Each structure stands twice: as C-alpha cells, then as structure tokens.
Amino acid sequence: MKEFNITVVETNNPKILKFESNQFLAKGNHELKNIDEAKDSPLAQQLFYLPFVKTVYISGNFIALERFDIVEWDDVKDEVAQQLVEYLNAGEPVVNEAETQKKQPITVYAEVTPNPAVMKFVSNKKIVPTTYEFKNIDDAKDSQLAKELFHFPFVKEVFFDENYVSVSKYEVADWEEITMQLREYIRDFLADGKEVVSSEAIRKSKETAEQSLSPTQYDDTSQQIIDILEEYVKPAVASDGGNILFQSYEEESKTVNVILQGACSGCPSSTFTLKNGIETMLKNMMGDKVNEVVALNG
C-alpha cells in the first residue's frame, strides 16, 4: 500500500494551516469546532487533544487546523504533520461515513482517450441529461461531484456527458497512480444516489437547449452545419470523451467556428481531427460554402 505523505501549506489566514495528503482522505467537507462535533471522526477527536487546536477542517485531500493564540505554527507544525503521517499510515479511519441509504448498483470503468491528459470514466447508467464543462472549482458551483473532484490536487478540468465523466489532470500525477482512486470515488458518489448536477442547472440547460432549437436562431447554412455536427461528428468525439459546439459561421470567409470540450480541448491530435476529419467532411457535404473550420479554444 502506498504510504501517506503530508505537505504543510500556509493559507491566507495565519491561524489556519493546511496539511495536504498525497492520497484521498474523506468524502465531502467537514468543519468540526469541538470534540463533541467530532464524534464521527476519530482523527479529529485525536487532534482536539492538542490544546492549541480550535477547529478541524477535513476535505478530500487535506486537513486544515485553526489554532488558538497560545502557540505559533512554526513551533508545532512539524510535530502535527508527523502525528498525521503516523496516524494515517497506521490505517486508522479519518471519518466514519454513515450509510444513509442503500447504494445503487453502479459500475464505472476507466477508458483512455486520444488526449493523454484526459481519462474517461464511463458509468452503466445515465448521470446527466446533457454536457457540462468545468474549468475550475468556481465553475463547479452547480455540481457537487465536480467540486469534490477538484479537491484532488491533480485534477485540472472536469467534463460530464450523458453517461461519463472526463477528467483532465495536471502533469504532476501519472494515470497509473490515480485512475483507480478516481474511478472508485466517482462510482461511490453515483452509488450513493447523489445529485451530479443541481436541478436548477439542469433546468437552465433545458431552457438553453430549447432556445437553440428556435428556427430563427441561425441562417440556413449555419443550421446545415449544426445538423451535420450533431449527426456525424458529436457521436464520434463523445466516444473519445469530448464534445464539439457550433459557435458561428462567417459567410464572407466561409469559416466555421467551433468550441472543443472535454478530451478534445487541448488534445494534441485535435488539430489533425479538426482539419482532416471535420473540415473535410463539411467541405464534402456542403461544397464551396465551407472553406475552413477553426476551434476558438484550440
């Protein structure tokens, strides 16, 4: 089993210090202000025996402590970090997760994509009604799953489609080290029956989709391009963990502007796919109406 390591990280609040772990610690976020509130966290209970600990925060990959003024962090941080390492490597529980409801039979498997920085995690059940892209944790305010995934320090971006999650990682981690961890986390989240995207966000997505179907929204050429992308291109890029969105058509230059999402965004092979796949297809099917396809975020 891989050993736990703790990295001490300062915060904007001089009284609060973060102890980041190289492995997953707990689901959700826990703020515990005293030992009574820590009844479900054996680790927090132990930390409250330190006389300078005022508040314990436990999240996906870190523990943060707020201190009383009786000490300075420089005097005790190394001792606390060592205590955390010893506790975690002894296999002791961080938080005792309550089984609030019967888990649903969910399976999730990991699938590589053409983008080496993106892994696709496919569920055996539909998880969202349409696509959602989150570039950072602020974007993820309407998705509990995305917010929790961003607590992993190696997660860069998150993308949802009907039955899968695409995760983009930073280079600090290798897929061999983190794929199993992410797969199990996503599976457990879905099995608990939690809401992947808020009902309010889903409602807004439906309204946006209905507006985009308005026949007066686009000219005839733009509508033809959209129909071709929907029928021939989107299923192919979805199988690779990505998505393509029509943005605009410039009649004078005959340029089609699109936006790439998920595994397609930043993929080394996306330029080749765009030029030799999508652009060629549109030229063949629409004749001289299309001269070039450009990814605005490519």
Please list, in sequence order, all residues whose beta carbon lies within 8 angstroms of the beta carbon of residue 131, skipping any fewer than 6 positions away: 159, 160, 161, 243, 261, 262
- Report in angstroms the alpha-carbon separations of 116 from 119, 120, 229, 293, 296: 8, 11, 24, 24, 21
Report the C-alpha gap between 89 and 76 in whole angstroms: 20
pTM: 0.56
Q: Is the pLDDT of residue 20 over 60?
A: yes
- Provide the 8-state DSSP code for 172: T
Q: Is the pLDDT of residue 249 over 60?
A: yes
Report the C-alpha gap between 110 and 69 in whole angstroms: 47
Question: What's the mean per-residue pLDDT of the chain?
Answer: 86
Q: What is the pLDDT of residues 25-42, one digit of tens each?
A: 887 788 899 988 898 899
**Which residue would you say has higher pLDDT here, 278 or 213?**
278
Q: What is the pLDDT of residues 2-15, one digit of tens each?
A: 789 999 999 889 99
pLDDT range class, residue 101, cuts 50, 70, 90: very low
Least confident interval from 130-139, 145-154, 174-183, 200-209: 200-209
**Which residue would you say has higher pLDDT here, 13 or 205?**
13
Q: What is the pLDDT of residues 150-171, one digit of tens each?
A: 999 999 999 998 899 999 999 9
Q: Is the pLDDT of residue 97 over 80?
A: no
pLDDT range class, residue 199, cuts 50, 70, 90: confident
pLDDT range class, residue 248, cuts 50, 70, 90: confident
pLDDT range class, residue 99, cuts 50, 70, 90: very low
Q: Is the pLDDT of residue 264 over 80?
A: no
What is residue 262's predicted lDDT score, i.e. its pLDDT?
A: 74
Report the C-alpha gap between 261 and 254 in whole angstroms: 23
Contact 258, 245 (CB under 8 A): yes
What is residue 193's predicted lDDT score, i.e. its pLDDT?
A: 86
**Which residue would you say has higher pLDDT here, 235 or 34?**
34
What is residue 273's predicted lDDT score, i.e. its pLDDT?
A: 65
For the chain, percent of residues with pLDDT exceeding 90: 44
Contact 263, 114 (CB under 8 A): yes
Q: Is the pLDDT of residue 105 over 70?
A: yes
pLDDT range class, residue 89, cuts 50, 70, 90: very high
